Structure 1
C-alpha cells in the first residue's frame, strides 16, 4: 500500500510510493487512555471515543488551554512530537499572516518591452508572476474568495469534488483588456511569462509564481441518458493546445463504474485521455490534470485572452514559454506596466488555503517568504517562518518542519500548536484569522464532521491526516489525524486546543473517514464539557 495524506474528510493525496514506518520523536509517551482508563480534565464522552478498539495499539495526544486565563485544562502527551499532516498549514499561513497582515496584496503586472507606434508594439509583453494564488479566478462579487468544501485540487483521488462558478481566466481577461486600453492592438514580438520570482517543488510538482486555475485543467465527466450512451466530457479552462479524447461510456443506473484517467496520449502529450465507465444515475464526476510547465500554459492562456480583447500577437501561441529571452529581473522591474492585477487580500488567500487544505498554496506562501529575503529557491522560506514565529513569542523548538503543506516528515507537539493559536488569538485581527479555519459541521474540511452536534459552528480548527499501509496484515494504518484550533465552549470559555491520534488500524479505507469524525467528537465533547 502507498502512503498518502488526507487533506480533508474525503481527500487523498499520494506522497510516497511505498509503505513508510513513522518514528515518533520526543520523550516517552504518556499511557494511552485505553491503558490508563482516564485523562485528567478530559470528559468521559471524549474518553469513550478514544478507547475504541481501532486505537488500542495507538495513542492520543491532547492539549487544551484557556485563552483568556492561560490555564492548562488538559495535557495528555502535549509535549511529545508527532506528525500533524496538513495542520502544518497553520505554521506556513500563520507566518505569512504575522509578517504581512490579512490586508496585504500582491500585484501581477504586464510590462511593455519595446516601442509602441500607432497601436503596434514592436517588442514583447512580459507577464510577471507574483504568487497570486487565485489570479482573479475565484473572486466573488463582494471581493471574497470562493471555494467548495471538496475542492478541485483534490478531485483525482476520490469522487465528490466540485467546481466554483467563477471563470478561472477572469484575471487574464482583465489584464488583456487593460493592455488593449493602453493603446496596444498588435504585438510583433512575443508574450513571455516571467516566473523567476521563485522556483519551488512539492511532491515532484512545480511551485510557481504564475498560477492560473491552480495550474490545473478541470475535466468534468457527465453520464449519458442511458446505458451504452457515450458520456460527455468538458474541459475547463479550454486553452490550446489541450484537448480531451473521450473514451468514457455510460453503464446502467446503479451499476458499478470506474473512470480511468486522466492520462496523456503517448503520441500527443497535449491530448488528455479519459476512459472507463460512469453510471447513468450518477452526478458529474470531476477529474484534473496538473501542469508540469505552468508558465507555458499561462503564456498560451494570456495570448488567447489578448486575442479576445482585440490584441493580435505574431508569436506562436502554443510555443514553450521563451523565458531565456527575458532581460535581467532589474530591467524587467524598470519596464513600464501596461496592465496590473491586484490579488485578493492575504486574508482571503489564506482562507482558501486553510478551508480546503490547499497544499501548493501553502507551499507558495513559504516560497513568497523566501523571495521576500531575496532567495528564489524557496529554501529560505521555512527559516524565515521560524524567525517570524520566534519573534511572535513561539518556542519554535516545539516543531520540526520540512515543508509548508504538511506532507510526511513534519513533526509538532500539541502544546506548540496550542501556543500558535493563543498567539493568534491575542492579535487585533484574531477574529479574521479564526474565520479562515474550517468550522465544525459547517464548512471546508470539517463540513461533514459532527454536523448534528451541539458543538457544530462553535469549533474552528485545521485538520491534518497521514495514512499508510500495513502490507503485512492487508489493512490501513492511520499515521496521524490532527484537529487543532479554537472553540467557544458551552460554558462561555475561549479555548485553544489540539487533538491528535497516532496509529489507528482499519480494514477498510472508510475507517479513516470515521477517524476524522472521531477527533471531531473529542473536540465536541471538550466544547460541551467546559
Structure 2
C-alpha cells in the first residue's frame, strides 16, 4: 500500500480506512479516508508511492477527509491556482492589455516615415493569435504547448498572425507607406527570465513562442507530407521524415531544438526520422501529427513577423527583415508621446488569459502571469521580485505561511512543493474574492474540457457518472528520471485540486496528490490521471 509521506510510522488500516490519528501530528477526528478511495490509492502501481489528500467544506472550513495534509508534496501545475488567483485579484477580470505602436521621426507627404517604428510589448499572451469571433481565446483539449512532451496536439483555428496583421493595417491607415529606418520591439516591460533551460521569456509573443509542424499520413517508403506555421523568413522547416514499415519505431527528431539562429538569415529547423506505416497518432487517433520548434529569440522573431505584416499591408521597410532586434535604438522608457502612436492592439479581458493558462496548463503563460502580478502589486520586474511580492500577498491576504510551500516560478516547474493546507487555504480564500467567478470558470472541468476533458474512466461506474461537469479543478504533472532506475521515468507528482459541487448539493474544496510513482511512460501517467479523476468523482458522490 502507499505510504504516508512524513508520518512517523505506517498508518493502521482498520475496516478499510486509515486511522489518521496514528500517523502523528494533529489530525481532526472523523477525517479517515473512505475505503473505496483507499482501494484506488492501494493499487499495486502505488505500492511505493506517497499520497496526500485534504477535503474541506467550502463555506464552513470543516475538514471532511485528511490524509497527511501537513507534508510538503510535489504539486506541479496545481501551483497555478496561486499565481493565477493573485494576478486575477490584482488586475481584475476585465483588465485588457494594450500593445501600442509608435513612430519616431516625421512622416513625409508621400507617406515615408523618416525614422523608426516601435512596437511596445505589453505582455499580451496571445497578441490576437487565438481570437475567436466572439472575443474569447481559442483553446483545444490537446494544446500545442505540450505537443512534443505528449506526442501530439490539436491546433487552435485562428490565424496566429492576426494581431500583427491588425497592427500593420492600422499603421498603413495612419498614412505610413514606407519606413525609412528600422522596426524595433520594445521588450523592456520586465526582465527576461529563463524558462526551464529552454530560452529567455520576454513580454512579446507570436504563436505562444512556437512554430507548429503538421505531419500528414503517407504510404510506406514515402516522404511524410509536412507543413508549418507561422510562415516567416525568421524560421523555416525542412524534413527528411519518411514512413517506415508497419513494424518500424516511431522516431521523430527535431534539430536544432531549440534553434538558436532566430535573428540570423537562413534559420532552418530539420524534421527527421520515421513514422510507422498505419501509425495511429496518440491522443487524437487521427492525423495530423503535431510537433513544435521553440522560438528561442522572441523579440527577433516578432520583429520579422511585424515587418512582414507591414509588407502585406503595403508598408515597405528599408531595414533588413531578418536581424537582431535593435534595442539600442529605443528611447528612454516611458518617453513615448500619444501624438506618436499610430496603432494599438487590445487584448481579450484578463479573465480569458487566466482561463487560457488554467484550462490547458500553459506554463509560460503562468510564469508571465506571476510577472504581471509583480508589476501590478509593487512594480516588480524580475522573477525573484514577483515571487517575493506573491509571498507577501499569500501571507497577508490568505494567511498562508512561506513554510507551507516552495515556489520557484509561476507555473510549478521542477521541485515545486506545497502542503494540502496551503492549497485549500488559497482555494477557499479565492471563493470570497470579487474575481471568484472567472477564477472558478478558468478551471478544467471533469470529463468536459481542458486538461480534464479526457478523464472519463469514472463514467464506467453508473453511480459516479453524475460527477461529469461537477468537478472544477487544476491538474499538475511532474515527471523526472527515476534515481532508483537510471534511464527510466518517475512520476514525482500527479496532483489535482479545486472545487466540487457534490451530489448532495454541498460545495467542497479538495487537494489530492500522489508522489514518486515508478512508471514506464506516458500511459502510466494517464492511468494515475484517471485514478485521481475517479477519486474526485467518489468525493462528488460521497458528499
- TM-based fold match above 0.5: yes
Of the three residues 361, 364, 369, the one matched with 1:360 is 364
Give the 3-state SS of the residue equivalent to 1:69 in structure 2.
Answer: coil
| Contact 2:16–2:34, Cα closer than 8 Å, also in 1 | no
Of residues 247-256 and 307-316 in structure 1, the stretch that sits farther from structure 2 once superposed is 247-256
Q: Distance in 2 between the 1:34 and 1:481 partners?
A: 24
Which residue of the partner structure matches residue 471 of structure 2?
459
In structure 2, relative to structure 1, the CA distance for the partners of 1:295 and 1:96 (3 Å cut) is: same
Which residue of the partner structure matches residue 209 of structure 1?
203
Question: Is 2:240 the counterpart of 1:247?
Answer: yes
How far the C-alpha of 1:393 sits from its partner, in A, is 2.6
Question: Is 2:301 the counterpart of 1:275?
Answer: no
| Contact 2:150–2:522, Cα closer than 8 Å, also in 1 | no
Question: Is 2:100 the counterpart of 1:88?
Answer: no
Uncovered stretches (5+) of structure 1, i.e. residues with no partner: 1-23
CA RMSD of aligned residues (A): 2.3
Which residue of the partner structure matches residue 462 of structure 2?
none
Which residue of the partner structure matches residue 377 of structure 1?
382
Which residue of the partner structure matches residue 408 of structure 2?
402
Question: Is 2:101 the counterpart of 1:110?
Answer: yes
Which residue of the partner structure matches residue 430 of structure 1?
436
How far the C-alpha of 1:253 sits from its partner, in A, is 5.6
In structure 2, relative to structure 1, the CA distance for the partners of 1:322 and 1:34 (3 Å cut) is: farther
Give the 3-state SS of the residue equivalent to 2:231 in structure 1.
Answer: coil
Which residue of the partner structure matches residue 10 of structure 1?
none
Of residues 505-514 and 395-404 in structure 1, the stretch that sits farther from structure 2 once superposed is 505-514
How far the C-alpha of 1:36 sits from its partner, in A, is 9.5
Give the 3-state SS of the residue equivalent to 1:102 in structure 2.
Answer: coil
| Contact 1:184–1:311, Cα closer than 8 Å, also in 2 | yes
Which residue of the partner structure matches residue 523 of structure 2?
510
Question: Is 2:236 the counterpart of 1:231?
Answer: no
Which residue of the partner structure matches residue 305 of structure 2?
301
How far the C-alpha of 1:281 sits from its partner, in A, is 3.7
Of the three residues 425, 437, 441, the one matched with 2:447 is 441
Which residue of the partner structure matches residue 8 of structure 1?
none
In structure 2, relative to structure 1, the CA distance for the partners of 1:69 and 1:512 (3 Å cut) is: same
Q: Distance in 2 between the 1:122 and 1:70 partners?
A: 65
| Contact 1:34–1:56, Cα closer than 8 Å, also in 2 | no
How far the C-alpha of 1:351 sits from its partner, in A, is 0.8
Q: Distance in 1 between the 2:352 and 2:12 partners?
A: 39
| Contact 1:221–1:232, Cα closer than 8 Å, also in 2 | yes
Question: Is 2:502 the counterpart of 1:489?
Answer: yes
Which residue of the partner structure matches residue 341 of structure 1?
345
Which residue of the partner structure matches residue 144 of structure 1?
136
How far the C-alpha of 1:33 sits from its partner, in A, is 7.6
After the TM superposition, which residues 148-163 of structure 1 pair with which residues of structure 2 at under 5 Å, given as runs? 148-163=140-155
The structure that is strand-richer by fraction is 1
How far the C-alpha of 1:285 sits from its partner, in A, is 1.3
How far the C-alpha of 1:34 sits from its partner, in A, is 6.7
Uncovered stretches (5+) of structure 2, i.e. residues with no partner: 19-30, 280-286, 460-464
Give the 3-state SS of the residue equivalent to 1:229 in structure 2.
Answer: coil
Of the three residues 165, 180, 184, the one matched with 1:173 is 165
Query: What CA deviation, in whole Å up to 9, does each residue of 1:427-459 have, x standing for no partner?
Result: 344232111011111111111113523312111
Which residue of the partner structure matches residue 519 of structure 1?
532
Of the three residues 4, 17, 32, the one matched with 1:38 is 17
How far the C-alpha of 1:138 sits from its partner, in A, is 0.5
Of residues 319-328 and 244-253 in structure 1, the stretch that sits farther from structure 2 once superposed is 244-253
Which residue of the partner structure matches residue 74 of structure 1?
65
In structure 2, relative to structure 1, the CA distance for the partners of 1:508 and 1:368 (3 Å cut) is: closer
After the TM superposition, which residues 313-352 of structure 1 pair with which residues of structure 2 at under 5 Å, given as runs? 313-332=317-336, 336-352=340-356
Which residue of the partner structure matches residue 5 of structure 1?
none
Of the three residues 300, 313, 316, the one matched with 1:312 is 316
Give the 3-state SS of the residue equivalent to 1:403 in structure 2.
Answer: coil
Of residues 386-395 and 356-365 in structure 1, the stretch that sits farther from structure 2 once superposed is 386-395
| Contact 1:110–1:126, Cα closer than 8 Å, also in 2 | yes
| Contact 1:63–1:497, Cα closer than 8 Å, also in 2 | yes
Query: What CA deviation, in whole Å up to 9, does each residue of 1:41-83 have, x standing for no partner?
Result: 4332211101112222222111111112221111111122112
Of the three residues 409, 415, 420, the one matched with 1:414 is 420
| Contact 1:112–1:335, Cα closer than 8 Å, also in 2 | no
Give the 3-state SS of the residue equivalent to 2:241 in structure 1.
Answer: strand
Q: Distance in 2 between the 1:181 and 1:29 partners?
A: 71
How far the C-alpha of 1:164 sits from its partner, in A, is 0.7
Work out the number of aligned pairs and report it: 505
Which residue of the partner structure matches residue 285 of structure 1?
289
Which residue of the partner structure matches residue 100 of structure 1?
91
Question: Is 2:463 the counterpart of 1:450?
Answer: no
Query: What CA deviation, in whole Å up to 9, does each residue of 1:260-312 have, x standing for no partner?
Result: 21437999861110111224544221111112210010000000000111111
Q: Distance in 2 between the 1:48 and 1:33 partners?
A: 15
How far the C-alpha of 1:210 sits from its partner, in A, is 0.4
| Contact 1:223–1:230, Cα closer than 8 Å, also in 2 | no
Question: Is 2:35 the counterpart of 1:59?
Answer: no
The structure with higher relative contact order (CA 8 Å, sep 6+) is 1
Of residues 486-495 and 262-271 in structure 1, the stretch that sits farther from structure 2 once superposed is 262-271
